[in-house]
Amino acid sequence: MQKLLHNLNPEQLAAVTLPAQSAMILAGAGSGKTRVLTTRIAWLIQTGQVSPQGILAVTFTNKSAKEMQLRLSAMLPINTRSMWIGTFHGICNRLLRAHHRDAGLPQTFQILDSSDQLSFIKRLLKANNIDDEKFPPRTVMYFINGAKDQGLRAAAVDAYDDFNRKLVALYDLYDAQCQREGVVDFAELLLRTYELLSRNQPLREHYQARFQHILVDEFQDTNDLQYKWLKLMAGAGSGRPSAVFAVGDDDQSIYAFRGANVGNMSAFEREFKVENLIKLEQNYRSHGHILDTANALIAHNSKRLGKNLRTDAGHGELIRISESSSDIQEAQWITEEAKSLMREGSLGNEIAILYRSNAQSRVLEHALFTAGLPYRVYGGQRYFERAEIKHAIAYMQLMDNPHNDSAFLRVVNFPTRGIGARSLEQLQDAARQYGISLYAAVPYVSGKAGSSLGGFVKLIEGARFETHNLPLPEMVKVVLEISSLMTHYQNDKEGADRIENLEQLVNAATLFVSEEGFGHSAPALAGPASQAASGMLTLPGGIEIIDADAALPTVMSPLSAFLSHASLEAGDNQAQAGQDALQLMTVHAAKGLEFDAVFITGLEEGLFPHENSAKEESGVEEERRLMYVAITRARKRLYISFSQTRMLHGQTRYNMRSRFFDEMPEASLKWLTPKVQANWFGNKKSAWDDAPDAAANAIAQGFSKNQSNSGSGWRSGQGVVHGKFGEGVIVNIEGSGTNARAHINFGKFGMKLLDLSIAKLDKI
């Protein structure tokens, strides 16, 4: 026991050894929350308070779930494979597989990842003659997912105008089509599980009694439905609710755009009558100046639960602040600094360049490429999202569930087999007429089209026959051969990489069966004594169910399990640190990662904080939390940069530096440009102060050269004050006399073109 607990600090030890009641662990960035979670589980098991089967641990990424399983395996001599440790979607998938009949799903239901869901909706709109300009597929997808995240079916959504009534109707059509095809999207996994447990009392009480301890990671990222699901699993409000160990950080809640509700943390404290709130404030990642800056910044947010990160690692280096005249110069400066770090011995994959918007990466990539520095951009396709892999997966999906129309349409004519648009129209007409899947409708199509489509069906049936009883890796090999995918890419001039990716699919299958135990089939079991081992349980009243805590081989076939794994992996949105190359990614993608050196770029009003956030206080607070996350990714060295001009979306933007600079402690900052007293640009020095005319010229790219305009009495570079827009600077003047007009940058109000003979301006 001492060995298990000896590396914990006092706060961590207090959290791990809490009594069996609900608790909130406020875990700051880099405070060792994964250690606390896994040690808590190990301590509960080792002290005999609960069996491994009595624990439910829920995370937000597959990476976190695997990390917890690995650490537990190292701590205790137990098999963690059958334990309930996984993502929300993974846990729900497991429940629905075990209870698919009660959930109203086919046993071989398949999961639509985000790209498949979008394709599905495009097909739905086309089939129902819906104008996709009036109802863009992404808008429809966000509407459906948003409703599901709130726990609402179409009938319960408030349709307050004609547009929303149409969206509700499309949601209803979408649900019906998914049911016909035997597919579910990510949001459906949660909603269907919640509905199942809500209406099935014996099943609900079984799991409530089973899971005495529920542990939740990243609690601040839960949405409304996830929180309701947790309350249901825990038996909140019942006589003996489960002990919920919620670990989260309200200062790192940055996913409101995906439905996350940071208010769930306060609601949890109240509704679960939490008596124990422990703050993990000892940081093991970053140096002092980095943490001081993060603490000072986030203190400007209201309604925080409140904590202050500290470290024993010393103050470290000051945070370097750089101002550039343009985004091109900013990228060049970052490139030179990265070169310097690498000359000093830093590895590329320990240096991250973060940005608020993906649009910023183009200039950065160009500078790095020109300098010959290796880099990796997170945001590209993950392995299971690549076209050639999705083609192979589609063939296997049809073998497992032939009624998946999305999979059918993806590969019915890939590689080309003479099935054109007209043939597919005939097939779709037949499917609609008889209310069946495309696969089932093939016999109703005659002529050449019917013959070609029949050939495709024979190919799928042949693949199913050839792979019967084969191990999963061998099955994948046969599919790649029978489908002719390998042959197709061998004849492609640029197909070498795709072939290599397809070959890796066999390796992925091999690793999967090894990790999930499919390579070791259990002997057949019979008789009442073998009920639990075979995955069968009898509930009060003689109701017999499958017990979903059984290992995957009991609940799912290897193929079904692998296909679910592929979809869930494709939906995991956290970045993974890559090869020895500079790591480029958005701040959202960087959450959960850490690097020796971090560059945070584009700290300008309208970009970071983003202009969309200015409409409401909660929006600016979320942007501040995002900046807090960015700062706390750095271990040793942090750079923050901004530029006076930036080309975004084809337009030149004229910028004021971010308000966040005013919220950082001066003692922790090292400005790499000169400083003087406060001016329109803020209370930190900018290039405007030493040479306003030259700076204005640098900013006014695309406008006329910097010049005085004696006819109007104003000049470029002149600081001004306007009654509505506040302080600004004249960037350029066009015309003269009474016809003079000025382009004026008013910071958060942006660039304005004002008539100087009318506008009421005062000089600064």
Question: Encoding tokens for residue 323?
Answer: 């101002």
Burial of 398 (0-12, 13-18, 19+ CB in 10 A): buried
Contact yes or no for 28/307 (Cβ under 8 A) = yes
Residues in the chain: 764
The first and second tokens of residue 249, run together, are 């950080």
Q: Are 323 and 347 in contact (CB under 8 A)?
A: no
Residue 738 has what DSSP assignment? G
Instruction: Please indicate whether residue 362 is annotated as part of the active site.
Output: no
3-state DSSP call for residue 223?
strand
217 catalytic per annotation? yes
Assess whether 34 carries a catalytic annotation: yes
Task: Say how many CA atoms lie within 13 Å of 660 toward its Cβ.
Answer: 33
d(CA 563, CA 184): 13
CB 578, CB 627: distance < 8 Å? no
Alpha-carbon distances of 754 from 531, 563, 624, 695, 730, rounded to whole Å: 81, 60, 32, 21, 10
Local structure of 319: helix, strand or coil? strand
Query: Considering 217, 292, 330, 623, which one is annotated as catalytic?
Result: 217
- Give the active site residue among 97, 285, 633, 659: 633
589 Cα distance to chain centroid: 7
CA 148/CA 344 separation, integer angstroms: 51
Residue 415 region by backbone torsions, left for phi larger than 0, else alpha for psi between -120 and 50, else beta: beta
* Residue whose entry in the numeric block shows the structure tokens 């203190």: 299
332 is catalytic: no
Residue 175 tokens, joined: 């649900």
| E strand or H helix at 468 | none
Which pair of structure tokens corresponds to residue 136? 């863009």
Nearest Cα residue to 603 out of 307, 334, 342, 355: 355
- List the catalytic residue out of 17, 21, 34, 487: 34
* C-alpha–C-alpha distance, residues 487 and 388, integer Å: 12
Question: Helix, strand, coil % (nearest 5) of the chain?
Answer: 50, 15, 35
d(CA 635, CA 429): 60
- The radius of gyration of the chain from alpha carbons, rounded to an integer in Å, stands at 29
Encode 506-537: b = buried (16+ Cβ within 10 Å), e = exposed: bebbbebbeebbbeeeeeeeeeeeeeeebbbb
Cα(184)–Cα(493) distance, rounded to whole angstroms? 37
- Judged by phi (left if over 0) then psi (alpha if -120 to 50, else beta), residue 557 lies in beta
Tokens 């360049």 belong to: 353
Whose structure tokens read 């600077």?
Answer: 729
**CA-CA distance, 268 to 660, in Å (whole number)?**
31
DSSP-derived secondary structure letter, 179: H
If DSSP codes are grouped into helix, strand and coil, which group holds residue 753?
strand
Residues 60/221, Cβ–Cβ less than 8 Å: yes
Active-site option among 11, 116, 185, 218: 218
Which three-class secondary structure state does DSSP give residue 90? Answer: helix
Q: What is the DSSP letter of 617?
A: H
Q: How far is CA 141 from CA 122, 189, 192, 708, in A?
A: 10, 15, 17, 53
Q: Is 441 in contact with 431 (CB distance < 8 Å)?
A: yes
| Amino acid letter, residue 724 | K
Contact 142/150 with Cβ under 8 angstroms? no
Active site members: 33-34, 217-218, 252, 633
